[in-house]
Homo-oligomer: A and B are copies of this chain.
Amino acid sequence: MFFASDNGSGAAPEIIAALTRANDGYARSYGADPIMTRVKWLIRTLFEAPEAEVYLVATGTAANALSIAMLTPPWAAVFGHGEAHVATDECGAPEFFSAGAKLIPVAGDHGKITPATLTAALSRVGVSGVHGVQRGMLTLTNVTEAGTVYTPAEIAALTALARSLGLPCHLDGARFANALVATGATPAEMTWKAGIDVLSLGGTKNGCLGVEAVVLFDPAKAWEFELRRKRAGHLFSKHRYLSAQMEAYLTDGLWLDLARRANAMGARLVQGLAQVPDARLLHPAPANMLFPAWPKGTNARAEARGAIYYAMPAPEGMEGARLVASWSTTGEDVDALLAALKP
């Protein structure tokens, strides 16, 4: 009954197998391994983006912070949701990597920025000449930190506002595959066709050990990215182990299969919660992450019965939780949790 986070799950057997295979013999280091060539080809193909440049790092924070630092000067504002991972869960990594850019919290229910809230935020920044920070870039997250999902059309509406001001757009896709599955969108529809310039494509949470791809749909700054990655200690010498994970992840649709499993377990949770007395969801939960609220005492009871998850704030008189399903969550896990939650 582990629902604390999808990063508590292990790696899928296909990924482990690929890692073991990649271990044979010698390989050129620092990204010159032949597997990386195939990874690049895979991503270009899957994203219908033959010009894209692709780089691998081992953590989502590295992928996000390097991307942001590449897209904005230090004296500019990064517009993102106030609850976004980059704003609240990376200990200021974007500020560190960018040499002091300013994250502007954009409002929005259910973890989602709207054209109205983005317009409001954009109108407040960069309007006092040299005295204030300039407008720098937009960063979105899909799946959001609230477990909700942007459709490609919603993303496009937001990037259009940014791009009309010349601002580049980044997508934190730590749970990108879950978002694809939840919306049925193609990788291209969710990214460059919707105005995204750079994608952090997550593998870690969805069945890898630790690998994220940064996809630059416009390769103009590729060399700058390589220098930033090296200088930040995120270029792996034995790079083949990153490559092998990502290759297996993207081969034969494994990434989508794994996300489908996680999302299916999320849906099973949503359905089951309808039977938990007085439980309700604080946000829509189309993917693998739920934010339910329920009567006080529920968390203690479930914990005593072996359920593992994070308690969360909830409306007055209730208590809340964050439940995350992963690729390795089983139907039995879900049913056991639901049983543990009931009085």
Contact = CB atoms under 8 A, between A and B. Distances in A.
Contacts of A65: 233
Nearest to A9: B26
A132 interface: yes
A88 B132 contact: yes
Given A204-B237, A233-B234, A26 B11 contact: no
Interface string A215-236: 0000000001011101111111
Contacts of A29: 5, 7-8
Task: Kindly state the interface size class of chain A when it binds its partner.
Answer: 35 or more
A311 interface: no
Contacts of A228: 75
Contacts of A226: 130
Contacts of A253: none
A237 B205 contact: yes
A280 to B, nearest CB: 24
A209 interface: yes
A197 interface: no
A210 B238 contact: yes
A4 B8 CA distance: 37
A16 interface: yes
A227 B204 CA distance: 21
A80 B187 CA distance: 42
B132 A89 contact: yes
Interface stretch (A54-62, A159-167, A265-273, A287-295): A54-62
A278 interface: no
A91 B58 contact: no
A28 B8 contact: yes
A264 B269 CA distance: 58
A237 B134 CA distance: 20
A89 B30 CA distance: 12
A233 B59 contact: yes
A237 B23 contact: no
A64 B8 CA distance: 28
B23 A131 contact: no
Given A10-B24, A20-B20, A59 B90 contact: no
A66 to B, nearest CB: 8
A236 B59 contact: yes
A209 B235 contact: no
A210 B227 contact: no
B95 A128 contact: no
A331 interface: no
A225 to B, nearest CB: 10
Given A5-B29, A59-B236, A234-B234, 12 more contacts: A8-B28, A16-B20, A19-B209, A26-B328, A58-B58, A59-B233, A60-B237, A88-B132, A90-B233, A97-B233, A130-B227, A131-B230
29 contacts: A4-B26, A7-B29, A8-B29, A10-B23, A10-B238, A16-B20, A23-B209, A26-B328, A59-B236, A59-B237, A61-B235, A62-B233, A64-B233, A73-B227, A74-B95, A75-B92, A75-B96, A88-B132, A89-B132, A92-B101, A96-B100, A98-B100, A100-B100, A130-B226, A134-B227, A204-B238, A205-B237, A210-B236, A210-B241
